[in-house]
Structure 1
Amino acid sequence: MGRAQRPGGRSAPVSEVFTDAELEYLHGDRRLGRIATVGPDGTPHVVPTGWTHNSDLDTLDFEGMDLPSTKKFRDVARTGRAAVVIDDVLPPWQPRGVEVRGRAEALTEPSALIRLYPERVVSWGIEDSRMGVRHARTVP
């Protein structure tokens, strides 16, 4: 992980999880995703949330106000699993996005956050703009 020099002198994160195109997409203007967890009775729970790519750990991190009191935080603390979809649509109708599933931690120190360690990554409309073309892989 870390940063690499890109053509034109731009510095960009290096990732063992995400492709260059996925990283460029994730580091663009999208700051809202939908995190999915599972409740104690097996019911899915999906909510919009802010996120960041932690380039040092190659994880997705989620913070928020009073995070430890939220259902998503409790679900992750209990199950150790989560998924997120970060997506948008270009006109006239070109959906694109990244779905990440994996192990997750509900951390309280030094500040509360949910950390998602990617195990499965699916992207669409990023590597290839043709409708329906998906790029899916399991992360080693």
Structure 2
Amino acid sequence: YLGCVLQARKEPKVQEFGRLWQQEGGKVNSLLGLHATPERAALINGFAAHYLDFDDVQANFRGHPSAVIYSALLAIAPPSSQVRQVLQAFIAGVELAGKLGLALNPDHTVQGWHSTATIGTIAATGALCNLDNASVDQT
């Protein structure tokens, strides 16, 4: 994930996208070094991570889970979060992505849906809920 972002941040279109979505006064830095709200930082990071498509692929998911899940986690995780907590939340998100992908694919992909955008959003939400120790009702 980080390798993808670090390589993509040099790309003119990624820099242009980041500048478009940055927000002065935002408390969260994107991985491109831009200030943004958490939502915008997740978007900027996700765009950069997915731009070159060098990242991971999960077979059942048929997409790139890290681009969505890590982007959301890094934008939301408080500085006091331990690496173990973030990794545990990431794993929970990838597991959710795989289970949803197994249930929905191949029809989902054959119909033209891109799992990174569709299932990935749900998986990222699951990862954020895991990081926040949300209850079933909160989730």
- Mark yes or no: TM-score above 0.5: no
- Name the structure where strand makes up a greater proportion of residues: 1
| Richer in helix (by share) | 2
What TM-score comes out, normalization by structure 2 length?
Answer: 0.29
Specify which structure has the bigger relative contact order, considering alpha-carbon pairs within 8 angstroms and separated by 6 or more residues.
Answer: 2
Larger Rg: 1
